[in-house]
């Protein structure tokens, strides 16, 4: 086109307009959902905390399949998890367990103060909020922390940073466990595996959800902190055969200390 033609009929203008969709990058950066231009150029680490804050990722982002157990091992770990945390109404409630035997209670009472923060709180029975951010109610309800074998027993599946392990096994056409009770505000590490074919372990939150795919015989881990109490549906979002429609489980999120289970 000769220059006498209007801007809108020039090749350069049309070519530039064709890149219109690329401008969406600005919105992504504004929401912290993409690294900024300086970060892309390696000049500035802009894709750090801002991203997490902006997108609600929570930062940890553990999601890749991890080098982990075999399917049989995972099945055993799930069974142990279910056995350990089953409460009277049949729901699985991963939490700090009450000290079981008098011996365990005695060990807990004899913990030297210098053994650390957790021990101090176990003795005082207060200030539990200082332990890894765990809510006080956990400790009040369950008798505080122990140490040694009692502590190990209580803290099985609970990491030093306070993140609690949750196991979820998906196979045709059910989940184990089928009903979880979790505390709001507590970080959980979901360790999940599909035992036969690919499954989903997606969570529905009313508006929106968290879509999770599980590939067979590979452990997938996701770290999640539920911020509001409520009942949330877990459902399979990968077609897995004739019973796909009925593959579901439930997460019941409660305020810490809300239940006496």
Nearer CB in complex with other proteins: 65/143: 65
Nearer CB in complex with other proteins: 63/148: 63
Nearer CB in complex with other proteins: 37/124: 37
Interface pick for other proteins out of 174, 248, 259, 261 (rule CB under 8 A): 248
Instruction: Restricting to residues 181-220, name those near other proteins by CB under 8 A.
Output: 187, 190, 196-198, 200, 202-216, 218, 220
Confirm if 122 and 144 have CB atoms less than 8 A apart.
Answer: yes
Instruction: Restricting to residues 43-102, name those near other proteins by CB under 8 A.
Output: 47, 54-65
Straight-line distance from the first to the last Cα atom of the chain, in angstroms, rounded to the nearest whole number = 78
Nearer CB in complex with other proteins: 19/102: 19
What's the rounded Cα separation, in Å, for the pair 218 and 208?
26
Distance set, CA 150 to CA 106, 119, 261 (Å): 9, 12, 20
Taking residues 18 to 37 in sequence order and writing x for each that binds other proteins by CB under 8 A, - otherwise, the string is: xxxxxxxx-xx--x-xxx--
Q: How is residue 143 written in tokens?
A: 């008798």
What's the rounded Cα separation, in Å, for the pair 261 and 251?
16
- Residue 176's nearest CA partner among 119, 248, 101, 73 is 248
The residue behind tokens 């367990």 is 97
Instruction: Mark the segment that binds other proteins (CB under 8 A) among 78-86, 96-104, 132-140, 234-242.
Output: 234-242
Nearer CB in complex with other proteins: 57/176: 57
| Minimum CB–partner distance for residue 140 and other proteins (Å) | 25
φ, ψ at 75 (rounded to 5°): -60, -40
| Minimum CB–partner distance for residue 224 and other proteins (Å) | 4
| Minimum CB–partner distance for residue 93 and other proteins (Å) | 18
| Minimum CB–partner distance for residue 22 and other proteins (Å) | 5
Nearer CB in complex with other proteins: 58/143: 58
Torsion of CA 205, 223, 211, 72, to 10 degrees: -120
Q: Can you list the alpha helix ranges (DSSP code H) found in 86-188?
A: 102-109, 117-124, 136-142, 148-155
Size of the site for other proteins (CB under 8 A): 87
| Minimum CB–partner distance for residue 178 and other proteins (Å) | 11
What is the b/e burial string over 169-201, where b = at least 16 CB atoms within 10 angstroms of the residue's CB? bbbbbbbbbebbbbbbbbbbbbbbbbbebebbb
Instruction: Restricting to residues 122-181, name those near other proteins by CB under 8 A.
Output: none
| Minimum CB–partner distance for residue 97 and other proteins (Å) | 25
Interface pick for other proteins out of 85, 93, 134, 226 (rule CB under 8 A): 226
């Amino acid at each position: 086109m000769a220059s006498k033609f209007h801007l809108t009929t020039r090749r350069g203008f049309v070519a530039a307009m064709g890149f219109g969709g690329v401008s969406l990058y600005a919105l992504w950066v504004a929401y912290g959902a993409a690294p900024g231009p300086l970060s892309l150029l390696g000049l500035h680490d802009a894709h750090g905390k801002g991203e997490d804050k902006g997108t609600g990722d929570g930062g940890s982002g553990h999601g890749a399949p991890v080098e982990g157990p075999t399917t049989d091992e995972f099945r055993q770990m799930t069974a142990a998890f279910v056995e350990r945390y089953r409460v009277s109404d049949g729901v699985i409630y991963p939490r700090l367990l009450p000290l079981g035997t008098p011996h365990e209670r005695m060990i807990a009472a004899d913990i030297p103060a210098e053994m650390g923060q957790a021990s101090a709180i176990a003795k005082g029975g207060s200030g539990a909020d200082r332990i890894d951010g765990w809510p006080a109610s956990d400790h009040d309800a369950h008798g505080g922390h122990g140490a040694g074998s009692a502590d190990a027993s209580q803290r099985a599946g609970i990491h030093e940073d306070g993140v609690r392990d949750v196991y979820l096994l998906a196979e045709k056409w059910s989940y184990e466990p089928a009903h979880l009770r979790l505390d709001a505000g507590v970080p959980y590490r979901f360790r999940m595996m599909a035992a036969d074919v690919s499954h989903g372990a997606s969570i529905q939150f009313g508006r929106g959800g968290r879509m999770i795919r599980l590939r067979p015989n590979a452990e997938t881990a996701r770290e999640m902190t539920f911020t509001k109490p409520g009942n949330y549906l877990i459902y399979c979002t990968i077609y897995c055969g004739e019973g796909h429609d009925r593959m579901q489980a439930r997460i019941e999120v409660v305020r810490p200390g809300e239940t006496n289970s």
